[in-house]
Structure 1
Amino acid sequence: MSVRVGAARVRALMLTLVSFFVLAGAMTGCASGDDDRPRVVVTTNILGDITREIAGDEADVSVLMRPNADPHSFGLSAMQAAELENADLVVYNGLGLEENVLRHVEAARASGVVTFAAGEAADPLTFHAGGEGSPEEEAGEPDPHFWTDPDRVRKATGLIADQIVEHVNGVNDKAVRDNAERYDGQLADLTAWMERTFAAVPEDRRALVTNHHVFGYLADRFGFRVIGAVIPSGTTLASPSSSDLRSLTRAMERARVRTVFADSSQPTRLAEVLRQEMGGDVDVVPLYSESLTEKGKGAGTYLDMMRANTTAMAEGLGGD
């Protein structure tokens, strides 16, 4: 009796082991198939959305920066850093934007991964010390926030498509080009809509004050004046001094500006301080300036973000 029981147990164990190895083999096969998929890794979620539109189903696009994060300060896990070095192509903003991530991008490049700095290829502007509240210490340095001009995003779209076609093996070149062409048309429509919307803002009210210097490209493209920023810098990692706030307050008084646009992903405390400095008669309007949100939360895509910002800016500046 005990022999039969022992044999039955052996057979059950063998069946379990066989099932395990069959399942493990199937999982390994799936993993190998996934490993064979072309892989593009993108640092910021704004560029990630744009790149996904271009790649479509032709490549897996992994985005390192989570929704509502700050591109100046977000970091990577060890797994994400390894993901960079295993990519077929890395797309990043450049121009100093991803301050805590650039060393990982450089390490990936040193290991042989093709990297593409979209901002550096999109005719970057430089910060200029054009008045009180402007980033004096950064004057002449490149401004990384090129995506606030949709025409520059159109240029970046074509260049990202070129990079995918040239460096990502296994993609259908025509499908990638078709995706890029379709998205380019959507960007052209966005630009035309922004022009019509901003046309309703009176000339004497086309003045911007923000949490930090982020809308220089939009101002250049659509005819706005940048009066200054609460944080007089192109990065959120800087801090304003009391003299910075006083200078900005005087500049706003001279320009008769009573609206401050604050990044929705950052606390508005500094903008609230400015409101107190000016006696409370300041409107603080939230914008999605440097990060997308989760889907359905106001700025789930680049196109959503730009339309939301345009509407908020036109309403914030156009009213009595």
Structure 2
Amino acid sequence: MSSRPTAPRRHHALARLLLAALAGVLLVGASGCAGRDEDRASVVVTTNILGDITRNIVGDEAEVTVLMRADADPHSFGVSAPQAASIERADLVVHNGLGLEENILRHVRAAEESGVSTLAVGEAVDPITYTAGESADEPDPHFWTDPERVRTAVGLIADHVIEHVQGVDRSVVAENASAYGARITELTGWMEEQFHRIPDGQRQLVTNHHVFGYLAQRFGFRIVGAVIPSGTTLASPSASDLTSLATAIETAGVRAIFVDSSQPDRLAQVLKRESEVDVDVVPLFSESLTAEGKGAATYLEMMRANTRSITTGLTTA
């Protein structure tokens, strides 16, 4: 004849079940915490152009945080307190260097001092100097306008990710870098074909500030001048600067002035009036990517859009 368990025995059994259930919850919770994004390896990138390039290399192997928002100015953008903290927590910080990110450098230096690995990409791709204006003989940070230097940068970033970012699959990062590098090589060939349509005598550039020196060197353009005679948008032109550039435009027979799409073109329009010649003011995506669907959401899209604009601007009668 069976008998019902006494109350103490029932309570002990219930307690054991509750403890087992609680242990299961804690185990699931612990495994869930291990997979959260904050526990993943982290790469922090300062500019959005380098951010896109780095994401193509890293893929899903680590978290990539890009500090600079779309359409921002790399010379003047800043970071929030949480973003500054993310720099010092990163496994690797990728930045342009050569003085480009003027408001971010102190955070990068602080990260270096605390032991974070950093890569100043521009300093490692055979940088050139400005040849004219207020920034003459200073290093030019705008290396990304030369796709072949970007191809070199792809290899450098991949090597640093493999060496300094814990837990990444070396073979996956290497394969990603190889595939993206091949797309850069294809871009270079396509740009050469497009620019070949511009007669040699018309391969002359006037920009809102000195930003296309690397492109000029790679593809055989001559820099006539810049509305802002400096390598940074934080400078401003004088009346004599504008007069000198207007004279140079008239002498060279320049057909178009190219301005960054994220910057007002007021000065270029003033220069156009001052020069008393018929020139177009053509927007380019020179220093920042755009939001998705706005014309230059990736590095490859930006370079193709600029190539089309430059070619059209300098061949249209």
TM-score by shorter chain over 0.5? yes
- Structure 2 alignment gaps of length 5 or more: 1-20
Is 1:89 the counterpart of 2:92? The answer is: yes
- Structure 1 alignment gaps of length 5 or more: 1-17, 130-134
How far off its partner does 1:93 sit?
Answer: 0.1
Give, in whole Å, the separation in 2 of the partners of 1:234 and 1:31.
45
Q: 1:150 to 1:243 in 2, by over 3 A?
A: same
User: Which residue in 2 is equivalent to 1:43?
Assistant: 46
User: Which residue in 2 is equivalent to 1:73?
Assistant: 76
Give, in whole Å, the separation in 2 of the partners of 1:146 and 1:27.
45
User: Which residue in 2 is equivalent to 1:12?
Assistant: none
Residues 91-124 of structure 1: CA distance to partner in whole angstroms, max 9, x if unpaired?
Answer: 0000000000011100111111000001000110
User: Which residue in 2 is equivalent to 1:141?
Assistant: 138
Q: 1:128 aligns with which of 120, 127, 131?
A: 131
Give, in whole Å, the separation in 2 of the partners of 1:33 and 1:172.
19
Residues 228-275 of structure 1: CA distance to partner in whole angstroms, max 9, x if unpaired?
Answer: 000000000000000000000001111011310000011111111111
User: Which residue in 1 is equivalent to 2:242?
Assistant: 245
Q: Which runs of 4+ in 1 moved over 6 A?
A: none
Q: 1:28 to 1:35 in 2, by over 3 A?
A: farther
Specify the SS of the correspondent of 1:100: coil
Specify the SS of the correspondent of 2:36: helix
**What pairs up with 1:10-29 in 2 under 5 angstroms?**
26=29, 29=32
User: Which residue in 1 is equivalent to 2:8?
Assistant: none
Is 1:231 the counterpart of 2:241? The answer is: no
Give, in whole Å, the separation in 2 of the partners of 1:28 and 1:271.
58
Q: Please identify the structure whose Cα radius of gyration is greater.
A: 2
Report how many residues are paired. 295
Is 1:209 the counterpart of 2:211? The answer is: no
**What pairs up with 1:125-274 in 2 under 5 angstroms?**
125-129=128-132, 135=133, 137-274=134-271
TM-score normalised to the size of structure 1?
0.89
Q: 2:114 aligns with which of 111, 116, 125?
A: 111
Q: 1:308 aligns with which of 294, 305, 308?
A: 305
TM-score normalised to the size of structure 2?
0.90
Q: 1:31 to 1:66 in 2, by over 3 A?
A: farther
User: Which residue in 2 is equivalent to 1:98?
Assistant: 101
Give, in whole Å, the separation in 1 of the partners of 2:230 and 2:284.
17
Backbone CA RMSD of aligned residues: 1.8
Give, in whole Å, the separation in 1 of the partners of 2:283 and 2:84.
32
Paired residue type of 1:123: D
How far off its partner does 1:28 sit?
Answer: 9.5
Give, in whole Å, the separation in 2 of the partners of 1:34 and 1:43.
19
How far off its partner does 1:27 sit?
Answer: 9.2
Give, in whole Å, the separation in 2 of the partners of 1:33 and 1:269.
48
User: Which residue in 1 is equivalent to 2:55?
Assistant: 52
Give, in whole Å, the separation in 1 of the partners of 2:177 and 2:150.
11
How far off its partner does 1:26 sit?
Answer: 4.0
Give, in whole Å, the separation in 1 of the partners of 2:235 and 2:129.
18
Give, in whole Å, the separation in 2 of the partners of 1:201 and 1:31.
56
Give, in whole Å, the separation in 2 of the partners of 1:176 and 1:243.
51
User: Which residue in 2 is equivalent to 1:13?
Assistant: none
How far off its partner does 1:38 sit?
Answer: 1.0
Specify the SS of the correspondent of 2:137: coil
